[in-house]
Structure 1
Amino acid sequence: MKTMADKLIPTESLVQFYARTGQDIPSELLRDYGKAYFNVRETFTATRKTPFNRRDYFKICMSQTPAKASGILLYNDQEIPLNQCCLIFTNPAVATSIEVNIPFNRFYCLFNTPFIEGCIPADVQYASPLFNPSLMPVIPITKEDRQRISTYFTQMQMLQDSDYPLKWDMIRHLLQLVIHEGIRLQQSRETPAATGRDRLVKDFLALLNQQFPVDSPEAPLKLLTPAHFAGLLHVHVNHLNSVVKKHTNKTTREIIHERVITEARTLLRNTNWNISEIAYALGFEYPSHFNKYFKQFTSQTPLEFRLGTKTAASAKLS
């Protein structure tokens, strides 16, 4: 008899990905799992079918060989044909499987949340299928698009194999170019009506982003609840919540929490402000409320997170 655990869709880790695909598991994953990780490859995809599961990492693929009926992407309950050159963005929150019928060449890169944490603005995340599972994850590309975007992948691969000390920063910039290419190509196919429906969400994200980065404990965040944003946008809070949920698959409150936690990590990692100053800067009346809030979303207290990042930084220098 199957239990509830048997019915859950499994989540594949980066280590399990390498084991499943018959590749050597990178030593840094075994040594520092949970730290920032990125890898890019050019490969030949043979006929196969991957297991239907979620991942704890992001992945972007670009098929380079046009072929009719080359495969199918199963994305939640959608069956999306892969019958031409395309970009494929897979979101960790969505269970996927790919069935390849005709082999093709492709680039792919995969990376975890720590690698891009704090680098991708909320409005970009909303507009990209890499982060927004309500958007179509497969974006057809032309021959010209493929030539241009393959250059980004090639440059990322070259940098990854180099000894340049700031290579990961350059790779992050190239990765953002690929993400923006996907957004631009997808939006070029949207109708004006679709763009109009998204305006409220874009206005909400613009207001949210205007508050960051936090520059001083003496200028704390003011907009911290959906009601605060609804008031400035002149809509009922229930309407704002409904539209945001429909277009992002996240609640307004979840998006606010994610942005505040990202900023909290940035301040803990990169400033010498004490915990109380960071709490006040992020709009918390009492440091104890901030401690509880931060631990709720990260499983660590702010102090534990700060000490952990300092230990990791010292280890890299030693």
Structure 2
Amino acid sequence: MEKTIPTESLIQYYQRTGQEVPADLLHHPAGTGHFNVRLAVTATRKTPFNRRDYFKICLSSGTGKNKGTLVYHDKEIQLQQPCIIFTHPSVPASIEIPCHSASRYSVFFNKPFIEGLVPPDVQYASPLFNAALHPVVALTEEEKSRLTMYFAEMQSLQESAYPFKREMIRNILQLLIHEGIRLQQKQTGQPAVIRDRLVNDFFALLNLQFPVDSPDSSLKLLTPAHFADLLHVHVNHLNSVVKKHSGKTTRTIIHERVVAEARALLRNTNWNIAEVAYALGFEYPSHFNKYFKQFTGVSPQEFRQQKMTPAAHL
């Protein structure tokens, strides 16, 4: 049996949720820009734990304990206050919100709908495009009210006959993305946008390697030197520029991304340890075992025993 991590398409999403598949997706499943916005006011069962080939932004308005749980990569994030959630398509995720929670908006759209509208440095600063960032941004009541107006306006436009409604919706989407960056920067106190072409090119190359979908498609770029060669710069220059703009060394950023992917594969697939090691570019499983324990404090097998999610939930 082929070992791959399933990725849900927009067509599969509509089928799973019992909705009619829009005609544009049926006739042009890959090339047509697609957008939808929904307001959910009833109970939502736990969504399947998988990756997606589309983007999704959710606005949760509930407050208090037990208002929901987002499982994102290897993390369980409690949704105990109003928040906006930006889930990166390549990151396996599932959300469970109890039936007594308040109403919530969600928008989902594919890459062609927004392609070319968001500059690389803004993408790096947004969890919607940068899988290394925390996906949940907490909101005050005032912030929640303001963002709710954005979602409501997109829904109103979607249902209207205005001929340029898609252009307006794209503009509001960009506002939402920038709001998420701005609010996250405000909460963390860290600079959000890196305006350096070399750094953005480095992150673009890094992110192109993920997700790892099969043990037969292993990572190729594992060291700063590998990236420097492709970017046609000296490795010392790459290290200096990346450290200046991100606060982390190139090697640290690579390690963090590889370890995050290792956690996801160990938790969410039935691949054996050797297959995970090969998928991540390690020649020998013993080297992967030592590497993983160095960064997490536990062996891959110990981590899997603690955190494993059954494959049926993928």
TM bin (shorter chain): 0.5 to 0.7
Report the equivalent of 1:177.
Answer: 175
One-letter amino acid matched to 1:134: A
SS in 2 for 1:48: coil
How far is 1:202 from its partner? 3.7
Matched, 1:226 2:223: no
Closer, same or farther in 2 for the Cα pair 1:67/1:247, shift >3 Å?
farther
What does 1:1-318 align with in structure 2 at a 5 Å threshold? 3-5=1-3, 8-34=4-30, 35-101=32-98, 102-191=100-189, 194-195=190-191, 201-204=194-197, 226-228=231-233, 236-238=237-239, 243=250, 246=253
CA RMSD after TM alignment? 2.8
Q: Is the 8 A contact 2:68 2:80 kept in 1?
A: yes
Task: State the Cα distance separating 1:240 from its structure 2 match.
Answer: 5.1
1:204-234: per-residue Cα shift (whole Å, max 9, x none)? Answer: 46887xxxxxxxxxxxxxxx96235x79xxx
**After alignment, is 158-167 or 122-131 more displaced?**
158-167
Distance change >3 Å, CA 54–CA 248, structure 1 → 2: farther
Sequence identity, in percent?
Answer: 49
Higher relative contact order (CA 8 A, sep 6+): 2
- For the residues of structure 2 that align with 1:172 and 1:248, how far apart are their CA atoms? 35
Q: Structure 2 CA distance, aligned partners of 1:137 and 1:183?
A: 11
**Cα separation, partners in 2 of 1:239 and 1:10, compared to 1, 3 Å:** farther
Aligned residue pairs total: 223
> Kindly tell me: are residues 32 and 9 of structure 1, through their superposed partners in 2, closer, same or farther at Cα, counting changes over 3 Å?
same
Contact 2:105–2:151, Cα closer than 8 Å, also in 1: yes
Provide the rounded CA distance (Å) in 1 between the counterparts of 2:6 and 2:106: 22
Change (3 A) 1:244 1:180: farther
- CA shift, 1:190, in A, is 1.4
**Distance between the aligned counterparts of 1:137 and 1:227, measured in 2?**
33
Question: Post-superposition, which runs of at least 4 consecutive aligned residues in structure 1 deviate over 3 A?
Answer: 204-208, 238-245, 247-251
Tell me if the contact between 2:88 and 2:128 (Cα under 8 Å) persists in the aligned partners: yes
For structure 1, the 5+ residue unaligned runs are 209-223, 252-318
- d(CA) in 2 for partners of 1:119 and 1:11? 24
**Over alpha carbons, which structure has the higher Rg?**
1
Amino acid corresponding to residue 20 of structure 2 in structure 1? D
Question: Are the aligned partners of 1:227 and 1:237 in contact in 2 as well (CA < 8 Å)?
Answer: no
Shift in CA distance, 28/246, structure 1 to aligned 2, threshold 3 Å? same
CA distance in 2: counterparts of 1:23 and 1:245, whole angstroms: 44
TM, length-normalised to structure 2: 0.64
